[in-house]
Amino acid sequence: MTKDPHLLWGGRFAEPMDPRLDRLNRSLPADRRLWREDVATNRAWVAALEAVGVLTGAERAQLEDGLDAVAAQLEAGAAERADDEDIHSLVERLLGEVVGPLAGKLHTGRSRNDQVATDLRLWTMRAIARLDGALAALGRALIAQGRAGLDVLMPSYTHTQRAQPVRFAHWALAHVWPLARDRGRLEDARRRASVLPLGSGAIAGSGFSVDRVGLAARLGFAAVSENSIDAVGDRDFAIEAVFAASLAGMHLSRLAEDLVLFSSAEFGFVKVAEPFTTGSSLMPQKRNPDALELVRGRSAQLLGRLVGMMAAMKALPSGYQKDLQENNAALFETLDAACAGAELMTGVVQGLTLQPARMAAALDAEMLATDLADLLVRGGRPFREAHELVGALVRRAEALGLPIHRVPAAEAAALSPELPEALGRLGDAEAAVERRRAAGGTARAAVEVQIDAAAALFAA
Ligand code: ARG
């Protein structure tokens, strides 16, 4: 065990770190992806230090050039080969190699506690924008399929049992609105992430009167934190982003689940394009919807990450604790996975082939039972009685082995004299979807209004 020359805090230690601690403590493999944010934070800090007289103009220029050189090294993969404790230590070491002892002035009035909080917030804001873009693209793909399926009718399901006919567009748009809410939540999370912790020091504020408002403006934050203890120990922004991402993941999973069912031989409503499926090593005929299953499976892991992050936070004393480092990987993985899932689902949705004949074949007459009851209501029957009568008709039809509209008129009239006439006016599934003209319903005009509203919200 030799003392690590790269360490930022060796002075008060006589003995080197035990390798078993080092193994858990070293966060570079996870946080090296913060290098862009760390360089940006350093650059802003250099300017702030010059403004308070810690650095001369010449020193600032030298450090800025040095940071450019460090950024170029990191761009070329320097962080992959390094074995420093974390990204902050690495950047400072590389800077020292470029500019010499002057690099030692960089960390004046600052701590890795306010630095990592700043880097993480910057990263989160960017990741949110990336995920928002991926969800928007998926929304547009669903809207496009919805437009294509405006006149295609299919069953809707409750309890996975045939319920009532709907337009395919209505089903597709049912998966767009959750994405709209996800995007609203992400925007909200981005707004709360946009608060600058830098200048909070380790916990009690910076020893130098840096212009924090100027730092915020320079780094793209909307505000500065009001309390240094809170600023270094707060990870609400990360948890909110992970919550929004796991909820989006849950929506992707429900879309995937619908498509697993609808693409099965039993339903056959859609075909998933080959590039999004895989074969079986044993059964030569198989074509499996792995893309959908992976999105569904991954979303469970996102939820687990969210719970893990909150569990890590709940017992922490105020201020920075090393436990917080464990949450960083969860933040990165969750945002990455939600993005990858949305991108994959966009490909799946774009590649879907609708099978309108199979959907039509799944529309049985019983799915119009509610419409029949509604017709009796229009004739003056209280709904409860109408419901009972149509129920009796369904039972009779089942006993006769016939669909409800084929029950002989005399049999229907025996149940209630108004039934044969109502059956005569019942019409087909198209008539049923057109009866639902109220906003949010299945009539063509209502669905068109819905599609236009969604398209405006998801415009590129
Ligand atoms: N790698 C650390 C993290 O991600 C940086 C902060 C270290 N702070 C400290 N007091 N040791 O949390």
Q: What is the pLDDT along the chain (460 residues), one digit of tens a residue?
A: 445 656 778 788 989 999 999 999 999 999 999 999 999 999 999 999 999 999 999 999 999 999 999 999 999 999 999 999 999 999 999 999 999 999 999 999 999 999 999 999 999 999 999 999 999 999 999 999 999 999 999 999 999 999 999 999 999 999 999 999 999 999 999 999 999 999 999 999 999 999 999 999 999 999 999 999 999 999 999 999 999 999 999 999 999 999 999 999 999 999 999 999 999 888 889 899 999 999 999 999 999 999 999 999 999 999 999 999 999 999 999 999 999 999 999 999 999 999 999 999 999 999 999 999 999 999 999 999 999 999 999 999 999 999 999 999 999 999 999 999 999 999 999 999 999 999 999 999 999 999 999 999 999 8
- Show which of 361, 384, 412 is a domain's final residue: 361
Residue type, 389: L
- Residues 295 and 421 both lie in one domain: no
| Token code pair at residue 208 | 């130098």
Question: Residue 71: CA atoms inside 13 Å, Cβ hemisphere, count?
Answer: 14
Quickly count: other Cβ atoms within 10 Å of residue 385's Cβ.
13
Place of tokens 């499926």: 277
- Dist. CA 49 → ligand 1 center (Å): 22
Q: Which residues are catalytic?
A: 159, 280
Dihedral sign for Cα atoms in the order 14, 19, 20, 25? positive
- Dist. CA 112 → ligand 1 center (Å): 6
- Dist. CA 69 → ligand 1 center (Å): 24
Residue 369 domain-assigned (yes or no): yes
Q: What gap in Å lies between CA 342 and CA 133, rounded to an integer?
A: 9
Contact partners, residue 279, CB within 8 Å, separation at least 6: 286, 287, 288
- Dist. CA 23 → ligand 1 center (Å): 15
Q: Whose CA is nearest to atom 5 of ligand 1?
A: 112
Of 116, 234, 324, the residue with max ligand 1 atoms within 8 A of its CB, to mutate for a pocket test, comes to 116
Cβ of residue 38 lying under 6 Å from some atom of ligand 1: no
Q: At what angle do helices 112-148 and 35-51 cross, to 10 degrees?
A: 130
- Label residue 20 exposed, middle or buried (CB < 10 Å: 0-12, 13-18, 19+): exposed
- Residues 165 and 124 both lie in one domain: yes
- Residues 256 and 222 both lie in one domain: yes
- Residues 239 and 322 both lie in one domain: yes
Residue 434 domain-assigned (yes or no): no
Cβ of residue 325 lying under 6 Å from some atom of ligand 1: yes
E strand or H helix at 234: none
Residue 247 has a pLDDT of 98
Residue 5 has a pLDDT of 59
In this structure, what CATH number is given to the domain that contains residue 300? 1.20.200.10
- Residues 332 and 384 both lie in one domain: no
Q: At what angle do helices 369-378 and 383-400 cross, to 10 degrees?
A: 140
- Dist. CA 307 → ligand 1 center (Å): 22
- Show which of 361, 378, 394 is a domain's final residue: 361
- Residues 34 and 89 both lie in one domain: yes
Question: Coil, strand, or helix at residue 354?
Answer: strand
Cβ of residue 320 lying under 6 Å from some atom of ligand 1: yes
Contact partners, residue 234, CB within 8 Å, separation at least 6: 117, 197, 225
- Residues 387 and 343 both lie in one domain: no
- Residues 196 and 320 both lie in one domain: yes
- Residues 350 and 397 both lie in one domain: no
- The structural domain count of the chain equals 3
In this structure, what CATH number is given to the domain that contains residue 31? 1.10.275.10
Q: Whose CA is nearest to atom 10 of ligand 1?
A: 113
Cβ of residue 122 lying under 6 Å from some atom of ligand 1: no
Cβ of residue 110 lying under 6 Å from some atom of ligand 1: no
- Residues 190 and 261 both lie in one domain: yes
Cβ of residue 116 lying under 6 Å from some atom of ligand 1: yes
Q: Whose CA is nearest to atom 3 of ligand 1?
A: 325
Residue 441 domain-assigned (yes or no): no
CA max distance for the chain = 101
- Residues 159 and 102 both lie in one domain: no
- Dist. CA 114 → ligand 1 center (Å): 9
Residue 177 domain-assigned (yes or no): yes
In this structure, what CATH number is given to the domain that contains residue 374? 1.10.40.30
Which atom of ligand 1 lies nearest, measured to the CA of 27?
Answer: 1
- Residues 97 and 211 both lie in one domain: no
Q: What gap in Å lies between CA 308 and CA 41, rounded to an integer?
A: 28
Q: Whose CA is nearest to atom 2 of ligand 1?
A: 325
**Chain centroid to CA 25:** 29
pTM of the predicted model as reported, rounded to 2 decimal places: 0.95
Cβ of residue 31 lying under 6 Å from some atom of ligand 1: yes
Residue 12 domain-assigned (yes or no): no
- Dist. CA 322 → ligand 1 center (Å): 6
CA angle 86, 87, 90 (to 5 degrees): 90
Beta bridge pairs of residue 155: 165
Cβ of residue 27 lying under 6 Å from some atom of ligand 1: yes
Range of 92's domain? 19-108
Residue 32 domain-assigned (yes or no): yes
Cβ of residue 324 lying under 6 Å from some atom of ligand 1: yes
Report whether 208 contacts 109 (CB < 8 A). Answer: yes
Residue 162 domain-assigned (yes or no): yes
- Show which of 62, 89, 108 is a domain's final residue: 108
Q: What is the DSSP string of 366-435?
A: GGGHHHHHHHHHHTT--HHHHHHHHHHHHHHHHHHT--GGGS-HHHHHHH-TTHHHHHHH---HHHHHHH
Q: What is the DSSP string of 291-306?
A: HHHHHHHHHHHHHHHH
Residue 436 domain-assigned (yes or no): no
